[in-house]
Structure 1
Amino acid sequence: MLKNILNKSRQVWTPLARGLSKTNTQSNVAAESAAATNITKPALILPQDYADYAPLNRNAPRQAWIENIDAVAERKMGLIELHPDVFAAQPRVDVIQENIEWQRKYRYVSLAHAKTRAEVRGGGRKPWPQKGMGRARHGSIRSPLFKGGGVIHGPRSPTTHFYMLPFYKRVMGLTSTLSVKLAQDDLHVIENVDIPTRDAQFIKDLIAERNWGPSVLIVDKEYMFPENICYATDDLGYVNLMPAFGLNVYSMLKHDTLVLTVDAVKHLEQRLLYQQHRTDATSKGGKFKLDQV
């Protein structure tokens, strides 16, 4: 009797056990294939590394979509976290204005020039004798007292209006402008600057499809841009290319839309955070020197 019961139990449980082992095998294969798929796919979110520079700004880190540029149709490639000290700073409009005035004036050279009495043509002879005529004594009709004479304390060219803005205001101007651009939804992040064609119509359709505004500034970490995007934007006066080390407040505000590559974002964060946390910042606030960088 006992043997029969054991035989029946084996007959009942053996097929079920086989089915469970088959199911487990299939699940293991599916898990392995999913793991392999996850390894090949790029990360959806590029996290921020706070190991070197912890955020002084306690606001939540900002995030931006990473967009494609290989086609006109917009496609979200993932998310990138932005450092709050660079892209979520307090928008100091006064500092931005000071940066604009500084950039407009340091490249301006006045060519206004007034001639002195020595530079005006003529007037070499004494107009009348020193004494005997009852008239005031004069040595030249090109004196500033005469009509057609020289000018005293007039403008002399070339006159430069160069001055150096304090160090901390230059750094604050960049962080404030980047934060304003992100807050106004005028900052976009792309994978890279590799476009499939050198036709300018591709860039026109891309800007129109994504509503990037009348003028666009594309910034990459490297100063050598790919051939296709250089040819495509060569005849478009409202689309400009700029390396990350040349990014400035005036250019960002001059263009309606700022487009940064992922490498440019990381490079700007690294450089600006270093400038904010550098130990010799007080010495940079002194009188400007040519070796100050």
Structure 2
Amino acid sequence: MGDGVLRSPVGMWGSHQWVLDGSRSQPGQLYSLARKCNQEPLIKHLEHFLFLSTLPEDVGLPSNLKLPPNLISTAKRERPSPVGSGLPVLRKCEIEIPPQLSAKQAWLESLKDDTLGLVELHPDVFAVPPRLDILHEVIVWQRNFKRISHAKVKTRAEVRGGGRKPWQQKGSGRARHGSIRSPLWRGGGIAHGPRGPTSYYYMLPMKVRVLGLKVALSTKLAQDYLHIIDSLEIPTPEPQYLLDLAKQRQWGESVLIVDVHEDMPENILKATANLKTINLMPVIGLNVYSMLKHETVLLTVDAVNFLEKKLLWHDHRYSPLYPFRLPYNDFP
């Protein structure tokens, strides 16, 4: 192959090995050499034969098949496991863990620094087996309980006209009718049509709703899309600070920040005021739909304490005491 002359291939075109100056070559090498030697018939044949994965690196995709650079993201860095890291455990579970289970460890981060230490999470909240059926059931319920259909059609009594009998009952040979606004007539009323507004509200059992929250939290943590932070303090109210932080730590396209208090620090309120991809939410309003709608969820340590206390209480509550008259005040 030193003289740069393309020899004729040996065997059928369907073979995967060719002879180039007495040595066997792969189809990609043959394609490159054919391009250098301007062998147009062979180039056209190999373009139909070769897969794109066998082409050499210097042969790119056609311009109409290339993705724009803004749609190509870098691979997410896999964070090391917190188990055995040697960092101090800054938060331990306040609620007793069953003897057959062990606490789940996660990194404790800050919006200023990267890693501060470790936190322990209760396995009955953050290590629940994935249940896609529960997530689907809760999502459908959340999207329906506010849904109201305003579709409304007129009955034969509401359509204008039709008070006179169109023809006599007998003797005309035609079918008997009493009104031209009957549902049988064109332009008549609608029988059994929608009579909105119609509510699609129904109540999902509390146990299912609680399990949906646990499954969503556990799934986010298992996929490394749940991060624990110490507080919401940031040094500047500039939105670009949060955008750069999300890009640097690979939080994805959308971030949900959850805190136990509704009164959040002023800097983070100003920074997220005009951002559509980074949202704030009090922990009392945390729901499955919002967690799945955002790629990454950030929980403060206080929010973790609140969630564990509320969600684990439902595992041992006395059922006849529910429902409460004032749910949020009567909860423990």
**If the length of structure 1 is used for normalisation, what is the TM-score?**
0.76
| Match among 107, 110, 116 for residue 68 of structure 1 | 110
Structure 1 residue 84: deviation in Å? 0.8
Distance 1:292 1:231 in 2: 33
Structure 1 residue 122: deviation in Å? 2.4
Matches within 5 A, 1:234-253: 234-253=273-292
Compare the two structures and name the one with the higher helix fraction: 1
Matches within 5 A, 1:16-95: 44-50=89-95, 54-56=96-98, 58-69=100-111, 71=112, 74-95=113-134
Distance 1:100 1:212 in 2: 23
Distance 2:167 2:256 in 1: 68
Distance 1:260 1:118 in 2: 58
Matched, 1:119 2:153: no
Q: CA RMSD in A?
A: 2.0
Distance 1:148 1:95 in 2: 46
Distance 1:56 1:111 in 2: 50
Contact 1:108 1:162 in 2 (8 A): yes
**If the length of structure 2 is used for normalisation, what is the TM-score?**
0.68
Partner of 1:269: 308
Distance 2:274 2:325 in 1: 37
Distance 1:58 1:221 in 2: 30
Contact 1:96 1:177 in 2 (8 A): yes
Structure 1 residue 292: deviation in Å? 7.9
Matched, 1:140 2:179: yes
Secondary structure of 1:269's match?
helix
1:90/1:44 CA distance change after superposition, 3 Å: closer
Distance 2:267 2:256 in 1: 16
Partner of 2:28: none
Matched, 1:180 2:180: no
Contact 1:171 1:276 in 2 (8 A): no
Encode CA deviations 1:63-120: one digit per residue, 9 max, x unaligned. 1111111x3xx42122111011111112222111111111111111122222211222
**Relative contact order higher in (CA < 8 Å, ≥ 6 apart):** 1
Secondary structure of 2:308's match?
helix
Structure 1 residue 62: deviation in Å? 0.7
Partner of 2:256: 217
Encode CA deviations 1:5-48: one digit per residue, 9 max, x unaligned. xxxxxxxxxxxxxxxxxxxxxxxxxxxxxxxxxxxxxx752122
Distance 1:213 1:45 in 2: 27
Partner of 2:196: 157
| One-letter amino acid of the structure 2 residue matched with residue 64 of structure 1 | A
Partner of 1:109: 148
Identity %: 54
Contact 1:65 1:78 in 2 (8 A): yes
Structure 1 residue 283: deviation in Å? 6.4
Structure 1 residue 124: deviation in Å? 2.7
Structure 1 residue 235: deviation in Å? 1.3
Distance 1:58 1:249 in 2: 28
| One-letter amino acid of the structure 2 residue matched with residue 55 of structure 1 | I
1:76/1:216 CA distance change after superposition, 3 Å: same
Aligned length: 240
Structure 1, unmatched stretches of 5+, are 1-42
Q: Which structure has the larger Rg over C-alpha atoms?
A: 1
| One-letter amino acid of the structure 2 residue matched with residue 265 of structure 1 | V
Contact 2:89 2:120 in 1 (8 A): no
Structure 1 residue 129: deviation in Å? 3.1
Contact 1:218 1:260 in 2 (8 A): yes
